[in-house]
Amino acid sequence: MATGRHRYRFVDGEPRDGLKCSKCHLVLCDPQQATCCAKRFCKSCLDQMEDKRCPSCREPINCFRDGGINREIMGLKVYCTNSEEGCEWQGTINETDDTSIDTHLNTCPYQLVPCTNGCGEKIRRNSLKTHLTDNCLERMVNCQYCNQRGRYQLITSSSHFDECPDLPIQCSNEGCNMIPRRHSQSLHNETCPKAIIPCAYNTVGCNKVMKREEQEKHNEDSITAHLQLTKKQLGKL
Ligand SMILES: [Zn+2]
Ligand SMILES: [Zn+2]
Ligand SMILES: [Zn+2]
Ligand SMILES: [Zn+2]
Ligand SMILES: [Zn+2]
Ligand SMILES: [Zn+2]
Ligand SMILES: [Zn+2]
């Protein structure tokens, strides 16, 4: 039993001092009474003492369990420790009772519980469902582009986007507004009107480079030049 376990808000106001530990000043947890000075201490507070002397009068300590006080404490009415979150439960701290706060906290909708997906977060029991479907970083999702299934954290990470075959990527050719999927990027580039290409007559010696869409106009403008280059080339044969 841990020290300070009885850190509760009491329905009928602060319990009387006689129900509190003379060491930790919280409501006694498994109360022990010292024979030296009749002060009471939690069992856990005594267990933590190293010198085995009474914390109150410094005599070598000798204690007996105070069953009467314990019964009184077990009967104290407490609010749920999640009352500030909205839980309206009231009950006792009687550990052996079904109506005790320990039993209640196992089902209290406001109790913080670890995510059952193992993401490491603690969530109020009543929002666990939403967390698992909408927020958990470890929930299973499909990539919105390639539909690959995996943990949210991975599927939305840059390492997936770096290899996602269907990720839309803006064409890098200046002036092109197309956003082809990654897998069709090179296909697009072969027809992209804004791609920089060498003149179709480069094989006969035209050194002009231009956007693909300008080829036609260039051909019209360069009929003579292209013809001469072609003749020259033929002459070499
Ligand atoms: Zn104590
Ligand atoms: Zn004492
Ligand atoms: Zn509760
Ligand atoms: Zn989670
Ligand atoms: Zn993907
Ligand atoms: Zn393009
Ligand atoms: Zn040309």
CA of 29 to the centre of ligand 1 (A): 7
Q: Give the model's pLDDT for residue 186.
A: 92
Confidence of residue 5 (pLDDT cuts 50, 70, 90): low
pLDDT at 52 over 90: no
pLDDT at 89 over 90: yes
- Residue 45 corresponds to which tokens in the numbers above? 């507070």
CA of 142 to the centre of ligand 3 (A): 36
CATH 3.20.20.70 fits 111-163, yes or no: no
Cα–Cα distance measured from residue 106 to residue 136, given in angstroms and rounded to the nearest whole number: 22
Nearest ligand atom owner, CA of 178 = 6
Confidence of residue 218 (pLDDT cuts 50, 70, 90): very high
pLDDT in tens, 31-49: 999 999 999 999 999 998 8
SS3 204: helix
pLDDT in tens, 135-157: 999 999 999 999 999 999 999 99
Cα–Cα distance measured from residue 123 to residue 127, given in angstroms and rounded to the nearest whole number: 7
CA of 150 to the centre of ligand 5 (A): 10
Nearest ligand atom owner, CA of 102 = 3
Tell me which DSSP letter residue 209 carries.
E
Do the first three CATH levels of 1-108 and 111-163 match, i.e. the same topology? Answer: yes
Q: Give the model's pLDDT for residue 3.
A: 37
Q: Which residues contact 195 (CB under 8 A, 6 or more apart)?
A: 173, 176, 189, 211, 212
Q: What is the DSSP string of 117-143?
A: T-SS-EEEGGGHHHIIIII-TTSEEE-
Question: pLDDT: is 51 or 88 the higher one?
Answer: 88
Nearest ligand atom owner, CA of 78 = 3
Confidence of residue 4 (pLDDT cuts 50, 70, 90): very low
CA of 165 to the centre of ligand 5 (A): 6
* Domain boundaries defined on the chain: 1-108, 111-163, 196-232
Closest CA to 53 of 64, 66, 63, 43: 63
Rounded to an integer, the average pLDDT of 168-193 is: 95
Q: Give the model's pLDDT for residue 51.
A: 85
Nearest ligand atom owner, CA of 104 = 3
Nearest ligand atom owner, CA of 183 = 5
Cα–Cα distance measured from residue 81 to residue 90, given in angstroms and rounded to the nearest whole number: 10
Homologous superfamily in CATH for domain 1-108 = Zinc/RING finger domain, C3HC4 (zinc finger) (3.30.40.10)
CA of 42 to the centre of ligand 4 (A): 37
Which residues does residue 93 pair with via DSSP β-bridges, in sequence order?
A: none
Residue 93 — left, alpha, or beta (φ > 0 → left; ψ -120 to 50 → alpha)?
alpha
CA of 81 to the centre of ligand 3 (A): 7
Q: Give the model's pLDDT for residue 97.
A: 74
CA of 90 to the centre of ligand 3 (A): 8
Cα–Cα distance measured from residue 115 to residue 129, given in angstroms and rounded to the nearest whole number: 10
Q: Give the model's pLDDT for residue 1.
A: 35
- Residue 124 corresponds to which tokens in the numbers above? 């109020």
Question: pLDDT: is 6 or 178 the higher one?
Answer: 178
